[in-house]
Every structure is written in structure tokens, then in C-alpha cells.
Chains A and B, each alone.
Chain A
Amino acid sequence: MRLPRIFRTTPFRLTLLFLALFAAAASAFLAYIYVATAGEAARRTDQAILREMRSLVGAYERAGVDALNQALIERAAAERPFLYLLMSPDGSVISGSIGESPLEEFDGQPTWTSFRITELDQQGRRIRRPARGLQQRLAGGEALFVGADVGEDEAYIDTIVLALWGAVVLVIILGLAGGVIVSRNVSRSMAGLIDVVTRVRNGDLAARAEVRGTRDEMDELAEGLNEMLDRLERSMAGLRHAGDAIAHDLRSPLTRLRARLEASYIDLEAGKGDPEHALATAIEDTDGVLKTFGAVLSIARLQAAGSAPNQVLFDPRELAADIADLYEPLCEDKGIDFASELTADLRVRGNKEFLAQALANLLDNAVKYTPSGGAIMLRVRRRSSGEVEFSVTDTGPGVPEADRARVVQRFVRLENSRNEPGAGLGLSLVAAVAEAHGGRLELSEGPGVVGDSGPGLRVAFILPRAG
């Protein structure tokens, strides 16, 4: 049998489970109330009977059986809620409000009993009511029975039991109704999420779950799902972009390579040209293509991974000093004044290899574009925001302000550097490394125009506060 959908939902099943637990707990509670109430009523009746018995026994001991008989008659006449029976030692009735003792056997010990009395009501109908009583032997051998009608107590307890059952039924009805309502609500939000998952599974990566602003876990789930999809979409876009970029960056050098090889081939067929030179050039061109390919691949991998692998906490000064040590002779050789200013005792978290490569790329670029007689400055410092900034400033031609944002974008190169294989990808790789560390790249003008050089470029590689 197939149940209606609502009965198959998890919230409804949970509701049923909790309802069962609740009903069990409520039943136990009600049973306790019943036992306590009924027990208390019986105990009070018994005590009243005992008190009446003591008072009568007291009268007997003070003044004898006739005085007791007198007291019984007075008390019965005073409409006290008790039943009395005084019997002589041989068991015959002396006086009393009931005809005979409800005890069939009496061994002389005080004995409690529950019994029923029969009465005629106002319409003359016989009604039987429950009663309880105590019989005990008096000093002179007579037996005295004192009882009480407990019919009203029982009626009261019956009312309570009925009310309790009503409460249980009400709880179950309300619980079921609540379960249905909650299930419907949850199902509706779940249906939204399931719908999104289904759409994504069918290839619609733009599908997003509705966030209702209730800040509950359903919203959290929806937000998580959306963030996951955003990231997935970015990765896919990154990969697509990488594909386009690889095609773009490799097409022109490959075309050039092919053209040169073809020209050399024609030359060689015609008996002129230098095969050794042609091959050497071809190898050089191929290396350029491979270098570009490697850079593009690294960028794509970093972007696909989202964050750089193997990140450790370390002192950025050591890293910068090592790189400075590597590039300082090159600068000196080119007649460039190299200086570094490295703040001590900073901490950054990152992949040392990627960060070293990023710094090396920045210095490569600076050396490439700074003319002899210029200057390059490598700096590591802490920003007031707590971020750590590596910066390379040169006195080369710089990058026009309009182009700066574009240069940092992935795979974008300035037109005038298009013909140098791999160039420009350097900065893109640096930007990808920064992004993979949760950081960013900022380009600004260098020290300004001096003579015919400048205004220079300052590239700041900013890493977030570590820890």
C-alpha cells in the first residue's frame, strides 16, 4: 500500500515517533496521578473511620456499652456520614444503621473491609454504592463496626480519569495536526532544495535555492548549497577561461613556429638556408610554447584548487631575503640599483614554493622593464590592517592607470607585450597565487618620472593576516 506523500516525509515520521514517546510518558504520568488521587481519597476515608472508631471506643471504655449504644443512636440521628453496627458477644445486633456486618467471618482482630450498601433513592430505585468499614472487638466482648460511604469519592475519581483520558486524546490529536503542519512546512522547503539539486544534476548550474531569511538550518542549508554552486560555477568558468587562454596563448607562438619551419623547409628545398639555425630556432620556439603552457597550466591548477596546497606558517622576511639574494647580482649586472627593506618578525601562512615563485616573477618583470641606471626596491611590511604586503617597485615605464586593473586579471596581457612568449602570464600567475592564498595584487605608480625614465610600477602582493 502506498501511503500519501505527507506520511512518508521524515518530519512526519519523526512527529509520530515523538508523539508515541509523548503518549507513553503522558500515560505514565496520568497513571501516577490516578494512583495518587485515588489512594489519597481512600486513605482519608480510612482515617476518618479510624477517628470515629476511637471516639466511640473511648465512650465505651469510659461509660460502658449502654453509653456507647446511646452515642450511636445520637450520632446516627445527627446524620454523620458513618454507618454503625454494635453487636453483642454472641453476634446478635444490638443497634446500628445497617442490618448486619458485611464481614462474613470475624476473628476478633480489628479488620478492614470494602463492601457495597444498597439504598433506595428518592424515586424508590435500588442503588448500590461502594463503602468501606472497620470492625473491632470491644473490652466487654461486643463487636463494633464503623463504615463510610465512599461512592462520592469514586465518582470524583472517575471524573478525573475521564478528564485525563480526554487530555491524552487531545494531545494526540494536537500532536498529529502539528506534525502534519510542520511536515508540510519542512517538505515545502525541502522540495525547493530537492528541486535545485535536480536542476543542477540535469546540467543547470545557474539554479539557486531560495533563502527565506528565517536564519534557521534550512536557510543555512540553502545558503551552503548556493555557495557550493557559486564556487563550482566559478571553477567551471575558470577552467573554461583557462581553456580559452591556453588556446589564445598557444595559437600565436605555434602559428609562428609553423610558419618559420615552413619557410626553412622551402629554403632548404631550394638549397639555401641554414638547417642548424632553423632547428635551433624551432627548439627555442618550442621551449617558449612549453613555458607558456606550463604557466597557463599552473594558473589553471591554482584556480581550480581554490586554495594553495601545503600551506605553512613562516617568516616572510627569510623568503624575501632569499629571493633578493638570487636577484641582486642580476640587477647589479644590468646596472640597476637594488635595495630591499624587510620588516622582521612577521608571520604569513602560505605555500613557500608558490610565494617564492610569485616574488621571483615580480622581480623578473621589474628587471626586464627597468632600464640600466634605474632602481628596484623589494619591501616586506605589515599594513595597519594586519595584512602582510610584499612589494616590488621599479623605475621602468610602468603600466598606464587604465590598464592596471586589466593586467591583474587572469590571462590578460597588454597589447605591447603580446609578442614576447610567456610574458604577462607572469603577472597573471602572481595574481593567481595571491588569490589562492586569500590575498590580492595591487598595482600603482612607481616613484614618478625622472628624466626619460619612469614613472615606474609598484606591485603590492598582499596576504591576509595569518592565524
Chain B
Amino acid sequence: MRILIVEDDLEAAEAMARGLTEAGYECVKAPDGEAGLVEARKGGFDVLIVDRMMPRMDGVTLIQTLRRENDQTPVLFLSALGEINDRVAGLKAGGDDYLVKPYAFAELIARIEALARRRETGSVATVLRVGDLEMDLIARTVHRQGKEIDLQPREFQLLEFMMRHAGQSVTRTMLLEKVWEYHFDPQTNVIDVHISRLRSKIDKGFDRPMLQTVRGAGYRLDA
């Protein structure tokens, strides 16, 4: 998978590229918005990681330009400021996700995975299947090995998100953002409790647990 890193902090870009290369990605770096635009126009990237504030051309302008040129490559915005306004402006400009610096590396990887995957599938399936787990999005029902599993609405949303990102690590912050649509950091382990409830419903009584805890990152749903 190829990733373009557009970031003016060269040390941070280097650290990110090293980490991503180790994780198996191919990285290209651009030191400012204009260089980033030149690289992005060459095409062939699966995800663009773009810093909001850069010399020459800021991240928002860069992405607006690309979107106008009908380049739909998923974009992850990076920003040192975690303000709501910044995030909303970034997403409006055509960004697909938003990450506040400093971030845990596991968080970055999880978000890149999610973005790249979303591009692959992008389908309008009405039934999701992961292993022997099956979710009917129209009837709002979940079955595992043919047995119906009764879920609360929020648990259903949580499981849907996990199934759409099956095989990938998803972080607690991602869950809070994508399932609950909150953008703050709780001081307590609220998400863990929801996951453990969901786990007890889909894994209890079955020989193989699907919902895994990934140490230092979050959770993963395995087939």
C-alpha cells in the first residue's frame, strides 16, 4: 500500500515514514503543500496524510484542489490543534478523517487501515458477514452460527463498525468518534465496558472468540 506524507516537520515526517515502512507500507514524503500537490497528482496513493498547517500551501487548500480535480484518494488530516472548528473545516474541505498531534502510532495505523479499507469496499451491501457472524442491515438482526443474537441499538452500531473493519485494529478513540460521534477523550474506560458487553453477547457460548483486544491499540474483530 502506498502512502503520501505531506508534512513540513521533517523530523516528524521521517519518524512517521520509518514507522509506516516497518508496518509494511510504502511511503513518499513531501515537505510542503505545493510539493505535496505535485506528488499527489502523480497518483497511485492509497491514503494521503496531510498536515493542516504548512508553508506555501496549507493542507485544506491542497485537498480542496485535489478534490476539484476529482482525485478521491482518502485523506487523513493531521493537526496540532484539536479544536472542533479545525476538524469540521478539515472534513468539509474533503478530508476523510482527522487526527490530533501528538498521537499514538497505533492510532495512526488503525486510521490508515480504516481509510484504505473503506476505499476497497465502498459497497452498499445489506448483509455483512465475518466468519460465522452475519448482520442483516435491513432487518437489523445479527446471527452467529444461525443463532440470533439480541443487541441494543448502540451495540448493533458498534458491531457494525467492527464488522466493516474486520481484521483491522480499531482504537477506543475511533469507536467513540465513529459510533458515538463524540470527539473528546473520556478519563474513564467507558468504551472498554461497551466492548466487553458486546463480547459477552457475540462470543459467549461459542468455541472461538472473535472480538480480540489488541494491546496498546484497541480491538479487532477476527473471522
Contacts and interface: CB of A to CB of B under 8 A. Distances in A.
A313 interface: no
B151 to A, nearest CB: 13
Contact of A294 (B82, B186, B189, B190): B82
Interface stretch (A152-160, A165-173, A327-335, A403-411): A327-335
Contacts of A287: 104
A330 B187 contact: no
Interface centre among B182, B187, B193 (most CB of A within 10 A): B187
Interface string A302-327: 00000001100000000000100111
Given A326-B190, A329-B193, A310 B184 contact: no
A329 B188 contact: no
Interface string A352-366: 011011001100100
Contact of A309 (B85, B186, B190, B197): B85
A259 interface: no
A330 B188 contact: yes
A357 B187 contact: no
Contacts of A329: 190, 193-194, 197
A294 to B, nearest CB: 6
Given A291-B185, A357-B182, A360-B186, A330 B102 contact: no
A372 interface: no
A430 to B, nearest CB: 12
Contact of A356 (B184, B190, B197): B184
Contacts of A326: 180, 182, 190, 194
Contacts of B184: 353, 356-357, 360
Interface in A265-317: 287, 290-291, 294, 297-298, 301, 309-310
B22 interface: no
Nearest to B153: A325
Nearest to A365: B187
A301 B85 CA distance: 12
Interface string B162-203: 000000000000000000101111111110011011000000
A309 B189 CA distance: 28
A364 B196 CA distance: 19
A454 interface: no
A interface SS class: helix
Nearest to A422: B187
Contacts of B196: 333
Contacts of A332: 193
Contacts, number: 54
A367 interface: yes
Contacts of A368: 187-188
Contact of B180 (A294, A297, A322, A330): A322
Nearest to A291: B185
A364 B84 contact: no
A453 interface: no
Contacts of A327: 190
B207 interface: no
A398 interface: no
B189 A330 contact: yes
Interface string B190-223: 1001101100000000000000000000000000
Nearest to B179: A326
A77 B152 CA distance: 129
Contacts of B104: 287
Given A360-B182, A364-B186, A367-B188, A310 B84 contact: yes
B154 interface: yes
Interface in A326-383: 326-327, 329-330, 332-333, 351, 353-354, 356-357, 360-361, 364, 367-368
Interface in A92-149: none
Contacts of B11: none
B187 A426 contact: yes
A290 to B, nearest CB: 6
Interface string B27-38: 000000000000
A460 interface: no
B41 to A, nearest CB: 34
B211 to A, nearest CB: 15
B217 to A, nearest CB: 13
B83 interface: yes
A244 to B, nearest CB: 21
Nearest to A323: B182
Contacts of A291: 185
Given A325-B154, A329-B197, A330-B190, A301 B185 contact: no
Given A310-B84, A310-B85, A351-B84, A364 B193 contact: no
Interface string B91-105: 000000000001010
Closest 4 CB pairs of A and B: A357-B184, A329-B193, A364-B187, A330-B193
28 contacts: A294-B82, A297-B82, A309-B84, A309-B85, A310-B84, A310-B85, A326-B182, A326-B190, A326-B194, A327-B190, A329-B190, A329-B193, A329-B194, A329-B197, A330-B188, A330-B190, A333-B196, A353-B84, A353-B184, A356-B182, A356-B184, A357-B182, A360-B182, A360-B184, A364-B186, A367-B188, A368-B187, A422-B187
Given A329-B190, A330-B189, 9 more contacts: A294-B82, A309-B85, A327-B190, A329-B197, A332-B193, A333-B193, A353-B84, A353-B183, A368-B188
Interface of B: 82-85, 88, 102, 104, 154, 180, 182-190, 193-194, 196-197
